[in-house]
Amino acid sequence: MEKNQQSRRAFIQSLGVLAIGFSMSGTACSRSEKQQADPSAPEIRTRELDMEEIDSWLVIREDGRVTIMTGKMELGQGITTAIAQVAAEELNMNMSLIDVHLAETGYTPDEGYTAGSRSIETSAMSVRRAAASAREYLLEMASQELSTPKIALTLEDGKISGQGKSTAIYTLLNGKYFETKISSDAPLYANSERKIVGRSVARMDIKSMVTGKSHFIHDLRFPDMVHARIVRPPAQAAKLTSVATQAISKLPGLAKFIRIGSLVAVIAEDEYQTIKLAKAVSHHLTWDYQKALPANRSLMQHIRSLPTDSKIDEKSEAWSDSTIANSPVRHRAAYFKPYIMHAANGPSCGIARYEDGKLWVWTHSQGVYPLRGALVDLLGLAEEHIHVKGVPGSGCYGHNGADDVAAEAALLAMEFPGRHVRLQWMREEENAWEPYGTAMVLEVEAGLDSQGRIKGWKYDLWSDDHGVRPGGDADNLMPAWYIEKGHGEAKSGFRGGATRNSEPYYTIPQLHLQSHIFRGPLRRSSLRGLGAYANVFAIESFMDELAEKANIDPIDFRIRHLNDERAIACLKQLANQIRSIKKQNQQGIGIGFARYKNQAAYCAVAAHVRVDQQTNKVEVIKLWAVVDAGEVINPDGLKNQIEGGMVQSISWGLMEEVNFDDTQVTNLNWDSYPILRFQEAPAIHIDVIDHPHEVPLGAGEAAQGPATAALVNAVYQATGIRVRQLPVIKALKHSALGLKLAEL
Amino acid sequence: MENVFKILVNGKDCQIKADPETPMLYILRNNLTLNGPKFGCGLVQCGACMMLIDGVAVPSCTYPLQNVGQSEVTTLEGLSQEGEQLHPVQQSFFEEQAAQCGYCTNGLIMASVALLRRKSNPSETEIRAELQRNICRCGIHARAIRAVKKLADR
Ligand code: FES
Ligand code: FES
């Protein structure tokens, strides 16, 4: 402690600082980082602050500016703005005085991954408490300095005044360093006044985007930076058997040809040159690989035939097999969701520099600390010699290629020390090598009583795991499979992702839920919503089918199985929205509802579609959503998230599917993997129900499941065709051709 | 292999020494350190890389340096010069908060500027048709359409 105090004092010199530490339960603490200064990172004046005790903090400088260190990453969800909003509210300060410093090892707290729509619930709420604590601390100091009771003082934009006296943060801090911990009894202004929180504050980073200011990792440039490209094998399981080194060495402009086991890359001064070199080099390599993928089989059947790790997730005490069998109305159906891509607009990119045994990495990974842990494992460098800095990338929607490309850049930088090495994937690499959202099969069976109430519900899901993130384990980084240094295959990950929302949010007396986890043919990991997307699609499709069997309106049918007033309120408001819509010929309106993870945001969605029976063209005319995410920090930001989630979900449901032959994925570009474009984009209306006194709930993934459910339910209304196998367009085409799809 | 080219970018004369076949995307981003045009696909399928060539929105990812000639090249940066007001399309995208990650923003704005230059009051159908070449994976479609429609309706 003594030593830290001294180093802090030395660092602070004339700069006055008030640092507020606070602990975030459940996140690992980064301890005693002693980083060599990053030669290219912006100067960070808080780096010497003590990290022994605190997980995260907010720093008030004597010039009145506030820096918030967050372990979260900006993924396009606007977290930077939301965090600044909650801090500005508590400090009664203009938001322009607040800087948010994003995830960076050694500087920001270790908050694990930015995932699961949890940043508002965890990070932003901790920042709110820290800011309130800082305000109270400053008021206390001012009270003493001005000999005025604290209660009579107010803090505004860095000035403290009351009873005709005033002072400023500058005077109070007076070049000294103060540190305190978060105080749980500091009152929250957000509970009483809400001047900034709850308002649609514009995201300032969007101003940078519209003017082309440097924002993305893709925009980082360093003096003498070189460019790299990987030369990919023809199949996922492939071994490099021979290299025509002579021919390669004659290629013009090659700064370095790198081979580490079966990982091959080229480096050149000029990016376009590097791209051409990678193509040229590919002709001089020979690979050994197996035709190992089950190309021509029905994926649904294939999945069902794989060995599984099966488990009963829930079995009601009252469960009896005979309940369903003896019900007057019984129904059974199976649903399928194929592999789908993250398919980020901008391909993954990483930059690394290795010098004197130290490595710097710039990445758009969702977790800088977990990535660093995996790099330790992959590279054999000590943790204190690796510095990982988060920089925004193209929207990622889950675990895409960001960590892989960072690891590849790091491997290459170590082969080419002293220079910044920039590696950006090409479109076909992004599509072929990213970890997909896994294919899933969902089987449901239920029995209704004569009043149309569900008595028993049996659910079986088949899924690969959804979380194969690198967290400390090199095997989960793709390049580890090729460098032939004893690394294995990606480990099985987060089974729980498969069962996300597999339990219906409805009140059902007897439940029997099982999950069957298989190891599928393609690489997979977390994609927005994880298992919730397919589970909600299946549950909400099935609810519609049951409602029809019971001859009850689908919204009423859901409401009669709900006992959560907030859920019911969402559905009622949705019913109001769509009540007056006039459906024309060939049109349908369907709905879907879920509470994300059964504990986060509520989201009810309606879709109005038109299906041309002649051409099977599906037009999504309009989408409505009613969302309850508890206390709303930024209503327009929340709407933006929900809008985006719905559009992406509709795109997945309508048209997306990863295809593969017996060696590799075949949708390598936007023609072969089309996504929803502007002419197909629906009109959107969103209602947000604000509950200022409830906890704020993340909503980034809330719309994924309900939107596709609403889509298929609307398609059914328009056509009488029940699509149980996504994507919808393909299913309709098959049904028009009279093809019998693989049944149970 | 390398030749010297004189091209006009954002109102400035630039001298570029490069392989004549180099796509403009790399010239703009790497030689001229402009961030607007982005690499998305390199295949004229996504619009992330759009620039204006004499006012027409063109994907820069396959447009060779040697084809530029005397044409005027404009990037996102060139729509509003330092310290000046934002271009109306930039302003409109900002006001509508028509971005999430923002990777598609360049392409959408360049396409919209070109459209409005050609036709000052396009219908929604025309706006959608014009933006059809651009992709947005975050799903800000409705906002982008609104941002352009607002200008068309003025
Ligand atoms: S990068 Fe040029 S169109 Fe995609
Ligand atoms: S805002 Fe992310 S791709 Fe459009």
Given a cut of 80, is residue B1 above it in pLDDT?
Answer: no
Chain B residues with CB under 8 Å of A396 CB are 101
- The minimal CB distance from A647 to the residues B1, B132, B141 is found for B141
Query: B140: Cβ below 6 Å to ligand 2?
Result: yes
B86 lines ligand 2 (CB under 6 A): no
Structure confidence at residue A58 (pLDDT): 78
Task: Kindly state the average pLDDT of the residues B108-126.
Answer: 97
Contacts of B143 in chain A (CB under 8 A): 640, 643
Question: Contact A395/B137, CB-based, under 8 Å?
Answer: yes
* Strand, coil or helix: A547: helix
- pLDDT of A270 higher than 80: yes
Of A613 and A595, the structure prediction assigns the larger pLDDT to A595
Distance CA A708, CA A398 (A): 18
User: Which ipTM was obtained for this model?
Assistant: 0.97
Q: How confident is the model at residue A299 (pLDDT cuts 50, 70, 90)?
A: very high
Report CB contact under 8 Å: B138, A424.
Answer: no
A 10 A CB-CB count for A76 gives 28
Q: Where are the beta strands (DSSP E) in B1-154?
A: 3-9, 12-18, 50-53, 56-59, 72-74
Which position has the higher pLDDT, A45 or A680? A680
* Chain position carrying tokens 């440039």: A221
Does ligand 2 come within 6 angstroms of the Cβ of B99?
yes
pLDDT tens digits, residue range A529-566? 999 999 999 999 999 999 999 999 999 999 999 999 99
Does the beta carbon of B45 sit less than 6 angstroms from any atom of ligand 1? yes
DSSP string, A649-710: HHHHHHH----B-SSSB---STTTS----GGGPPEEEEEEE--TTSPP---TTTTHHHHHHH
Residue A7 pLDDT > 80, yes or no?
A: no
Is the pLDDT confidence value at A613 over 60? yes
Backbone angles phi and psi of A275, in degrees to 5? -65, -45
Average pLDDT over residues B54-79: 98
Separation of alpha carbons A551 and A184, rounded Å: 53
Strand partners, B18: B3
Pairing type for strands A309-315 and A256-260 reads: unpaired
Record: contact B100-A343, CB cut-off 8 A: no
Give me the half-sphere count of Cα atoms (radius 13 Å) on the Cβ side of residue A184. Answer: 2
In chain A, what percentage of residues exceed pLDDT 70?
Answer: 91
pLDDT at A32: 29
CA distance readout (Å), A565 to A64, A165, A602: 44, 50, 11
Which residue, judged by its Cα, is nearest atom 3 of ligand 2?
Answer: B136
Q: Among A496, A487, A355, which residue's Cα sits nearest to residue A421? A: A355
Residue B104 Cβ inside 6 Å of ligand 1? The answer reads: no
Which residue, by CA, sits nearest to atom 4 of ligand 2?
A: B136
Integer Cα distance of A417 and A431 in angstroms: 30
- pLDDT-wise least confident of A184-188, A196-200, A566-570, A656-660: A184-188
At residue A23, does pLDDT exceed 50?
no
Query: How does pLDDT run across A230-243, given as a tens digit for each residue?
Result: 999 999 889 999 99
Q: What is the pLDDT of residue B83?
A: 66
Residues 6+ apart with CB under 8 A from A172: A16, A62, A138, A141, A142, A145, A160
Residue A420 clears pLDDT 80, i.e. is over it: yes
* Position A371 pLDDT exceeds 60: yes
| Per-position b or e across A456-470, b if 16+ CB within 10 A of its CB | bbbbbbbbbbbbbbb
Residue A588 reports pLDDT greater than 80? yes
With a 6 A CB cut-off, is B119 part of the ligand 2 pocket? no
Q: Which of A202, A219, A681 sits opposite B97 (nearest CB)?
A: A202
Q: Provide the mean pLDDT of chain A.
A: 89
Report which listed range, A48-52, A186-190, A196-200, A648-652, is most confident.
A648-652
Q: What is the pLDDT of residue A93?
A: 93
Is the shortest distance between the CB of B64 and ligand 2 below 6 Å? no
- The chain A residue lying nearest B45, using CA atoms, is A670
Residue A232, phi then psi, degrees to nearest 5: -80, 150
Dihedral of the alpha carbons of B134, B139, B142, B146, in degrees to the nearest 10: -60
Element (H, E) at A182: none
- Bridge partners of residue A20, in order along the sequence: A58, A180
- Cα–Cα distance, A489 to A494 (Å, whole number): 15
Interface test with B, best of A77, A216, A605, A678 (most B CBs within 10 A): A678
Q: Which residue has the higher pLDDT, A743 or B78?
A: B78
Tokens of A512: 């029997």
Q: Is the beta carbon of B136 within 6 A of some atom in ligand 2?
A: yes
Contact B103, A394 (CB under 8 A): yes
Of B65, B86, B62, the C-alpha closest to B76 is B86
Question: Taking Cα atoms as reference points, which of A740, A707, A704 lies closest to residue A725?
Answer: A740
Q: Which of B39, B50, B74, B101 to mutate to test the interface with A (most CBs of A within 10 A)?
A: B101
> Does the beta carbon of B39 sit less than 6 angstroms from any atom of ligand 1?
yes
Which of A71, A170, A64, A68 lies closest to A115, judged by CA?
Answer: A71
From A345, A651, A675, the mutation candidate for ligand 2 (largest count of ligand atoms within 8 A of CB) is A345
Residue B69 has pLDDT above 70, yes or no: yes
- Coil, helix or strand for A725? strand
**Distance between CA A259 and CA A249 in Å, rounded?**
13
Rounded to whole angstroms, how far apart are CA atoms A55 and A64? Answer: 23
pLDDT value at A42 more than 50: no
Reduce the secondary structure of A16-54 to three states and give it as a string: CEEEEEECCCCCCCCCCCCCCCCCCCCCCCCCCCCCCCC
Most confident of A23-32, A484-493, A572-581: A572-581
For A75-113, how does the pLDDT look when each residue is reduced to its tens digit (9 = 90+)? 877 888 988 999 999 999 999 999 888 888 887 877 777
The number of angstroms, rounded, from the C-alpha of A467 to the middle of its chain's C-alpha atoms is 12
- Phi (first) and psi of residue A423, to 5 degrees: -120, 125
Q: Residue A152 above 90 pLDDT?
A: yes
Question: Probe ligand 2: pick from B38, B46, B49, B101, max atoms within 8 Å of CB?
Answer: B101
pLDDT at A15: 61
Cα(A641)–Cα(A77) distance, integer angstroms: 7
More confidently predicted of A182 and A544 = A544
User: For residue A377, how far is the Cα from the chain centroid?
Assistant: 24
CB contact under 8 A, A640 and B100: yes
Please determine, for residue A294, whether its predicted confidence score (pLDDT) is greater than 80: yes
Alpha carbon of A408 to those of A68, A242, A258, A421, A436: distances in Å? Answer: 31, 21, 11, 10, 19
How many angstroms does the Cα of residue A381 sit away from the middle of ligand 2?
36
Predicted confidence (pLDDT) at residue A47 exceeds the cutoff of 50:
no
Give just the sign of the alpha carbon dihedral A470, A228, B29, A347: negative
> In this predicted structure, what is the pLDDT of residue B144?
98
* Helix, strand, coil share (%) of chain B residues, nearest 5: 35, 20, 45
In terms of Cβ atoms closer than 10 Å to its own Cβ (0-12, 13-18, 19+), residue A606 is: buried
Q: Is the pLDDT of residue A73 over 70?
A: yes
Are B105 and A210 within 8 A, CB to CB? yes
For residue B77, list chain A residues with Cβ-Cβ distance below 8 A. Answer: 211-212
Tokens 């590849």 sit at which residue?
Answer: A408
Q: Do B100 and A641 touch (CB under 8 A)?
A: yes
Say yes or no to pLDDT of A6 above 60.
no
DSSP secondary-structure letter at A719?
Answer: H
How many Cβ atoms are within 10 Å of A94's Cβ, its own excluded? 13
* DSSP state at residue A596: G
Nearest CA in chain B to A224: B30
CA of A433 relative to ligand 1 center, distance in Å:
19
- Indicate the residue of B46, B94, B137 with minimum beta-carbon distance to A210: B94
Mean pLDDT, to the nearest integer, of A131-152? Answer: 93
Res A312 pLDDT > 90: yes
Three-state secondary structure call for residue B33: coil
Coil vs helix vs strand at A404: helix
